[in-house]
Amino acid sequence: MILEKFALFQNYPNPFNPNTMINFEIRKQSNVILKVYDVLGNEVSILLNEEKPAGTYEVDFNASGLPSGVYFYRLTAGSFTETKKLILLK
């Protein structure tokens, strides 16, 4: 499978409580890091930190231990980095 690009998609559902899905694509084998941060930039969760082959992935994020609020998730794969916002409503 040859993918055209690296891509990080908007989580769904958003807003969410307490689970949401985060989807992304990587076009070549890369070390993939997917982290969640609070609005102050503090790391609150590491969802992935491992080598992955090219493909499309879906990661479940359970935020049951976090308070309601705005969070950001960042995907880093090789030289690609993208950040998106998610909202936890309890």
Looking up residue 47, the CATH number of its domain turns out to be 2.60.40.1930
- Cβ atoms of residues 36 and 47 within 8 Å: yes
Q: Any residues with CB less than 8 A from the CB of 1 and at least 6 apart, and which?
A: 54, 55
11, exposed or middle or buried, with CB in 10 Å at 0-12, 13-18, 19+?
buried
Whole-model pTM: value is 0.93
Which domain, by its residues, includes 19? 7-88
Give the model's pLDDT for residue 3. 56
pLDDT tens string 25-71: 999 999 999 999 999 999 999 999 999 999 999 999 999 999 999 99
User: What is the mean predicted confidence (pLDDT) over 70-76?
Assistant: 98
Give the model's pLDDT for residue 2. 54
